[in-house]
A and B are shown apart, each in its own frame.
Chain A
């Protein structure tokens, strides 16, 4: 089946540093969604990108969808301890089910 890969699997950053996670697919995605899961919590929807080359911002978070709609990234500027958690991308291929990426677990060193 279709797969969505995410890198890195783990990332440890000092508080105040930037963080980026990347999502890649070998086939074109219809859309990409991003979710955040706090430790012990459940995935929470952050944003959806639909258009080729789309860029969206939410405060310190910047989301991009690649021109070929095969990759996406989430960048956090000046991380804070509240950013701790696992970030998942999730994409759809045509009208098929949402396929979740492997996740990037972010740890912040105070």
Chain B
């Protein structure tokens, strides 16, 4: 059983389109994350949700909107895609809580490779 799953694995789309990436975890974790990894392999956190509540919102363009329908799911919707959005997007989850902090290992999904043409 896959602990953290993402769909789709690959996404090729044109500039200006809107697309969504879905993530699900079956680990029972309270916290989920979205990371962006660029071509130089830098991993940058975008958002974090704890029990459906947004707790981290880095300086990300407001074209990116996360949604967490329940604590096992975290989706990412991107409006008006731009060339610079091309990257691999990773979903992750952990046992972290706001009170206890982020001192828990994170489990990553397989990634979604987004290519904007």
Interface of A toward B, CB cutoff 8 Å = 30-31, 33, 37, 41-45, 48, 50, 86, 88, 92, 94-100, 102-103, 105
Contacts and interface: CB of A to CB of B under 8 A. Distances in A.
A100 B105 CA distance: 12
B22 to A, nearest CB: 16
B79 interface: no
Interface of B: 41-45, 48, 56, 90, 92, 100-103, 105-111
Nearest to B111: A42
Query: Of B41, B44, B90, B92, which is in contact with the most chain A CB atoms at under 10 Å from its CB?
Result: B41
B43 A50 contact: no
Contacts of B92: 43
A45 B105 contact: yes
Contacts, number: 52
Nearest to B90: A42
A43 B42 contact: no
Given A97-B56, A102-B42, A92 B108 contact: no
Contacts of A95: 100-102
B41 A97 contact: no
A30 B107 contact: no
Given A42-B108, A42-B111, A43-B90, A92 B102 contact: yes
B16 to A, nearest CB: 29
B45 A98 contact: yes
Contacts of B56: 97
Nearest to A40: B111
A103 B43 contact: yes
